[in-house]
Amino acid sequence: MELIKSKSQNSIIQQRKELFWAKIFCNYINNSSTGFDYEVQSLSTDTIDAKCISRSGKYPELEMQLTWVKETEFNPKKSPTKYLLFRQDYIEEAIVRKTKDYTKRNENVNNIILLLQGYMAKPWAKDILTDAFCSKYKTNPFNGIYYLVRPSVGLSEKEDSKNGSVIPIKACF
């Protein structure tokens, strides 16, 4: 009985984490265009993790798949260039991994937005996600691909998804 309870609790915790990341993207799209009125709903299936629903019903539902980008331990002995390349490789690996996973299952991802959950600071992410890097993914079957930057907070501040950042890799808007 205790094992079932802990699995259920872990599932709830995972959904809350996914909702937090999805809210970062939802805030981004609501702020990027006048009139968007999206809100996030949790929806954990084999295909999608969350949806953005238009409160007014004027805009189409947005289906989102979230995935982690592997993290690297910072090594001050490595040059910054190598460090950036390792991060770029991990972002690329996350996109390829999800694309292959859906392709293998013959899933249509044309309506799904892939959200990459990352902990890199926004300036570093912008250095890595250059036009040349992003252009490789223009023909990727996902509707859109975005790198999400978790908000940084001070010790006394509460983390708020409104303070996160989004960097388009393959924009769908």
Mean of the per-residue pLDDT values for the chain? Answer: 84
Higher pLDDT among residues 38 and 128, named by residue: 38
80-127 tens-digit pLDDT: 665 566 678 889 999 999 999 999 999 999 999 999 998 787 888 888
Beta bridge mates, 64: 50, 113
The answer, yes or no, to whether residue 72 has pLDDT greater than 80, is no
Give the Cβ contact number of residue 157 at 10 Å: 10
36, 52, 105, 114 from 125: Cα distances, Å: 26, 24, 31, 17
Number of domains comprising the chain: 1
AA identity, residue 65: Q
Range of the domain at 88: 2-170
Q: So what's the pLDDT on residue 1?
A: 45
pTM: 0.84
Q: So what's the pLDDT on residue 173?
A: 80
Is residue 70 very low, low, confident or very high in pLDDT (cuts 50, 70, 90)?
Answer: confident
AA identity, residue 170: K
Which stretch of DSSP H or E encloses residue 113?
Answer: strand 112-118
Copy the structure tokens of residue 64.
């989102």
